[in-house]
Amino acid sequence: MARAALLAIPLLLLCLALAGGTDAARKTVGVYKLQNKKGDFSVKVTNWGATLMSVIVPDSKGNLADVVLGYDKLAQYVDASSAFGTVVGRVANRIANGSFVLDGKTIRLNKNGTTTLHGVSTVIWTVKEYVPGGDSPYITLYYHSFDREQGFPGDLDVYVTYQLCCGPYELRARMNATALNKATPVNLANHAYWNLAGDGSSDALGHLIKVFASQYTPVDASMIPTGEIAPVSGTPYDLRAPTLLGSRIKHVSGAGMAGFDINYAVDGDGFRQVADLRDPASGRALELWANQPGVQLYTSNWLNNVKGKGGRVYGQYGAVCLETQAFPDAVNHPNFPSEIVRPGGVYQHDMLFKFSF
């Protein structure tokens, strides 16, 4: 989706630590690597924004490449205007006019322009557990979102775990959040930019995509859902069969820019396949599975001349974002699946990224 600039945070936060021994060390911003035993599948994560920094996998010839866009240095993530790989929330995507009514009370939020977009993503998470190797390497990160942070009601305890598990080239991401004392909307999303040819190698228009959704949520000129849940049949948003992205990119638009920037209502319930993304040139493929009602497909329409890893320059359509989520602006549309978590209730968001080549 069209991106708002991240909050400006001084670089001194990179060396910020809470007082006291081990807790202080774990609050310092760092980079954490997970790697399989064979050594040909690895992930890097930073606790700045619970960010997925890199995912390195082979292609059909065994050549390794990083398939997510990002930066080489932590300082670049702090200063960035593109939320490469971050966990965004308390509510991802847009909330119209930065306000909603909950239990008869009007809640007013901090806004990015005329709406609230993504809430807080630029925060330091605490490393709770870190196992870099073995059969199922993983890292668990924790963040306490305080009452009225960015205007959202109530305290929220949030955990994010990244784990290499299940299959030989599979990354699982789990997000759990417990509402402690007030009802609050919760909708966390991972904002990775995927290019299966390798980051910065080319645009992603040669990728084939399939989205397991027979409906989508149309938006107005401000990118706010109209409230309709419409069939994709007969529209350029119909991706139920593998489709070359470049063949559709000029037939859809978001905020006046050609390209996909839309939420799909994923077919079925529970943990199921959401999308399939393939790069014929490298042979790499990504299956995305999740348990959320929607997925935002964003084709990096607004990405422009961003200097990324190794000095490579990322341009328009340089990657594909597949953000599993609740429906955008669900708090203002009673017909959308609810994203409200009551005190003591737990929000659970599970994702599985299955790579093949």
CA angle 182–346–99, rounded 5-degree value: 45
Q: Which of 38, 63, 280 is nearest to 169 (CA)?
A: 38
Radius of gyration of the chain (CA): 19
Q: Which of 118, 149, 170, 323 is catalytic?
A: 323
Residue ranges at the known binding site for beta-D-galactose: 93-94, 191-193, 261
Q: Which of 118, 149, 170, 191 is catalytic?
A: 191
User: Residues near 130 by Cβ (< 8 Å), separated by ≥ 6?
Assistant: 32, 138, 139, 140
Burial class (CB in 10 A: 0-12, 13-18, 19+), 41: buried
Residue ranges at the known binding site: 93-94, 191-193, 261
Pairing assessment for the beta strands 64-66 and 51-58 based on DSSP bridges:
antiparallel
Answer yes or no: 191 catalytic. Answer: yes
Distance between CA atoms of residues 55 and 34, nearest Å? 10
Dihedral angle sign, alpha carbons of residues 193, 196, 200, 205: negative
Bridge partners of 180, per DSSP, are: none
Looking only at Cα atoms, what is the longest distance across the chain?
60
Q: Which of 82, 80, 52, 78 is nearest to 67 (CA)?
A: 52
Answer yes or no: 228 catalytic. Answer: no
Query: Which residue numbers are catalytic?
Result: 191, 323
